[in-house]
Structure 1
Amino acid sequence: MAYTIAELGKALGVPAVGDTAMRITRLSEPASAGPDDLALAMTPKFAQAIPEGDARAALLWAEADWQALGLRAALMPERPRYAMSSLTEMLDQGQGFAPGIHPSAVVDAAVDIGDNVSIGPFCVISAGARIGDGSVIGPHCFIGWDSTLGQQAFLREHVSIGARVSIGDRFIAQPGVRIAGDGFSFVTPEKSAVEAARATLGDQGDAKAQGWHRIHSLGSVTIGDDVEVGANSTIDCGTVRDTRVGNGTKIDSLVQVGHNAVVGDNTLLCAQAGVAGSSVIGNNVVLGGQTGVSDNIFVGDGVIVGGGSKVLSNVPAGRTMLGYPATAMDRQMDIYKAQRRLPKLLRDVAALRKAVFKSDKDD
């Protein structure tokens, strides 16, 4: 797969300069780039490494002096990282899945399969499932009873999708994704110690030890268009209504979305984030890595939560949050700075006490 610099510039809609007839075959970091590579030198810092490699062409920034960098050609977009997203799409060689049904796949007779679908080795497709045109079902995948996948779905290996799930177009699931496992929902015959502690913020009362009784998940999962779910992430079924994920939302690896949760459009859930049951996450929200969201709360549109934070109460739209418990980021930073000053402050207080008590004795 090779493109000229001119072809790339036209496809991306960005300026292409120099020897635009030059052909490139892959993308590379500047220091390891070969003569047929396009070096990704999108900032002055990255461009410093160009002399360490053999790149003749690079993806730069709009104001770069490409000739001073010793290049023969360059792409110069206003937003280099956005241009990079299209470049990687053009040069992605894929996973080698060809259309057709592998002989080892087990496909029920009552499955509706669209055109140009690939179903890989050892897949199991249950009765009533519907698979849209151009979809890829990788090796060892499972699709449950009466589930729907839209057009151009791409399921990598070992993805499992439970019964009655509804997924829109252009869905991507990385290896090990699990959609529609039962929710983690249990109850005791009498009021439990957990319920008492939660109500009193600590006091377990006289609740006795009891066994846990399972609440079955009667709902399923509904996912919109253009959603991606990272490796080994899970989205649980709802209890009596579907757990929902909106259009354009991207979920990183090792993320847990609990039963009954609602996640809005164009939201990012980064690695190891956890959204507890019945929480509502708005549109265009970003939950940083290892963020935890407590159950039965809402996080408003446009909220950004820094990595490692724990959201224990409702968050109004537009807030930037950090910490445990999560508070407005500027306030959390003030608290952090104050904590760093505590050792010195305690030493100063100790010195003042010593001076005061000594002064009292002198009197």
Structure 2
Amino acid sequence: MRYTVAEIARALEAEAVGDAGAVVTGLAEPAQAGADDLALASSPKYADTLAAGAAQAALLWEGADWQALGLRAAILPKRPRFAMSRLTTMADPGHGFGNGVHPSASVDPTAKLGDDVTIAAGAVIGPEAEIGAGSIIGPLSFVGWQAVLGPNAFLREHVSIGARVRIGANFICNPGVRIGGDGFSFVTPEKSGVENVRETLGEQGDAGGQPWARIASLGAVVIGDDVEIGTNTAIDSGTIRPTQVGNRTKIDNLVHIGHNCIIGEDNLICGQVGLAGSVTVGNFVVMAGQVGVSDNLSIGNNVVLAAACKVMSSVKDGKVMLGYPANEMKTNLDMYKNTKRLPRILRDVAELKKAVLKSDGSD
């Protein structure tokens, strides 16, 4: 990284003040910043630690008194955290996967590679696969038969893209992701105890133990543009139709998306979320860590599912949910407060019972 303050400010559409020609060669937190670093002090609480470092330039906030902070130059964006998105991209040195096709990579002769594609060491590109222009396939990654990746895909190391999976442009995939594995779909010859439990909410009936028969997954996975997937996440193929993930959705680490799920656009799905089969999710949904959603449910648009809530019924547009089973957050918090009051209420009831018995002369 080597940019002037003016160049960075222009890229961030922010104001540059002071010596805009000053050159920065790295990013750093304020207290650890060296003389050539751009210190990231996006709020007053971070700026308080500037004096502990040696930075002469800093990313601050709109209207900040940069001179009082003893700086030579500063960048003043309207929304500092949003500016971090473009700034960190500018500073990203990459992962050293090289350029072109590594000699140890295996590329099937029927595969199609776009211009400027990098295939790193040990990667495997299967028959009739298509890799879009500018894409990078990391070491030991696998792209299966007839899979299609759009332009500028970036697969980190040990990523697996199964047969017939189709992915749009600007895909980012972190290590260990598995896309296009078979769905967890099994059935018994006769009606099972589990099916009875679902119907009766508790009774298995007369159903005995039976072997499980596998249902094959024919539907693969379809992923839109500008999607990012975190480390060790798994997305299962659909049974007949494909599992789908919409444009610009961001998925964190250790997420499981079951077969036949349909995930809309611009969603944020955090770590350890689990979606059972055939869940439908709208647009602009946020699922916090460890959320679980039961199968065949619908989650509306603009929904927030708070951390660790377990969704047992469909959720309408705009709802904020919490708890197990998930309720609207206000209702859940009221229930929690009332639960904490129970010991006191029980004590009060016991005292009232004593008073009533005593007044009846029944003591």
Deviation at 1:347, TM superposition (A): 2.9
Question: Unpaired segments of 5 or more residues in structure 1?
Answer: none
Given residue 24 of structure 1, which amino acid in structure 2 is its aligned partner?
Answer: V
Given residue 182 of structure 1, which amino acid in structure 2 is its aligned partner?
Answer: D
Secondary structure of the 1:42 match is: coil
Question: Unpaired segments of 5 or more residues in structure 2?
Answer: none
Given residue 228 of structure 2, which amino acid in structure 1 is its aligned partner?
Answer: E
Deviation at 1:362, TM superposition (A): 8.3
Given residue 179 of structure 1, which amino acid in structure 2 is its aligned partner?
Answer: I
**CA root-mean-square deviation:** 1.4
Q: Judging changes above 3 Å, is the alpha-carbon distance between structure 1 residues 51 and 342 closer, same or farther for their aligned structure 2 residues?
A: farther
Deviation at 1:197, TM superposition (A): 0.7
124-133 or 37-46: bigger deviation: 37-46
Give the whole-Å Cα distance in 2 for the aligned partners of 1:10 and 1:141. 37
Secondary structure of the 2:38 match is: strand
Q: Which residue of 2 aligns with 1:70?
A: 70
Deviation at 1:340, TM superposition (A): 2.4
Cα offsets for 1:318-352 (capped at 9, x unmatched): 11111111111111121122222223333333333
Query: What does 1:345-360 correspond to in 2, within 5 Å?
Result: 345-360=345-360
Q: Which residue of 2 aligns with 1:159?
A: 159
188-197 or 29-38: bigger deviation: 29-38
Cα offsets for 1:284-303 (capped at 9, x unmatched): 11111100111111101111
Give the whole-Å Cα distance in 1 for the aligned partners of 2:255 and 2:324. 19
Overall identity of the aligned pairs, in %: 59
Q: Which residue of 2 aligns with 1:308?
A: 308
Cα offsets for 1:153-190 (capped at 9, x unmatched): 00000000110111001111100000000000000111
Q: Judging changes above 3 Å, is the alpha-carbon distance between structure 1 residues 354 and 30 closer, same or farther for their aligned structure 2 residues?
A: farther
Cα offsets for 1:3-22 (capped at 9, x unmatched): 11111111111111112221
Secondary structure of the 1:254 match is: coil
Alignment TM-score, normalising by the size of structure 2 = 0.97
Cα offsets for 1:109-149 (capped at 9, x unmatched): 10101111110111111110000100000000111101100
Give the whole-Å Cα distance in 2 for the aligned partners of 1:263 and 1:44. 39
Secondary structure of the 2:65 match is: coil
Secondary structure of the 1:289 match is: coil
Q: Which residue of 1 aligns with 2:183?
A: 183
Whether the 8 Å CA contact 2:108–2:125 is kept in 1: the answer is yes
Give the whole-Å Cα distance in 2 for the aligned partners of 1:52 and 1:357. 71
Q: Judging changes above 3 Å, is the alpha-carbon distance between structure 1 residues 352 and 13 closer, same or farther for their aligned structure 2 residues?
A: same
Whether the 8 Å CA contact 2:145–2:164 is kept in 1: the answer is yes
Secondary structure of the 2:64 match is: coil
Alignment TM-score, normalising by the size of structure 1 = 0.97
Cα offsets for 1:223-260 (capped at 9, x unmatched): 00101110000100000010011110111000001000
Give the whole-Å Cα distance in 2 for the aligned partners of 1:341 and 1:241. 50
Secondary structure of the 1:101 match is: coil
**Aligned: 1:222 with 2:222:** yes
Give the whole-Å Cα distance in 2 for the aligned partners of 1:74 and 1:58. 5
Give the whole-Å Cα distance in 2 for the aligned partners of 1:358 and 1:93. 81
Q: Which residue of 1 aligns with 2:171?
A: 171
Secondary structure of the 2:337 match is: helix
Secondary structure of the 2:318 match is: coil
**Aligned: 1:256 with 2:259:** no
Q: Which residue of 2 aligns with 1:20?
A: 20
Query: What does 1:1-363 correspond to in 2, within 5 Å?
Result: 1-361=1-361
Whether the 8 Å CA contact 2:34–2:53 is kept in 1: the answer is yes
Q: Judging changes above 3 Å, is the alpha-carbon distance between structure 1 residues 356 and 33 closer, same or farther for their aligned structure 2 residues?
A: farther
Deviation at 1:358, TM superposition (A): 3.9
Whether the 8 Å CA contact 2:97–2:139 is kept in 1: the answer is no
Cα offsets for 1:57-111 (capped at 9, x unmatched): 2211113222222222211111110001110000000111222111111111101
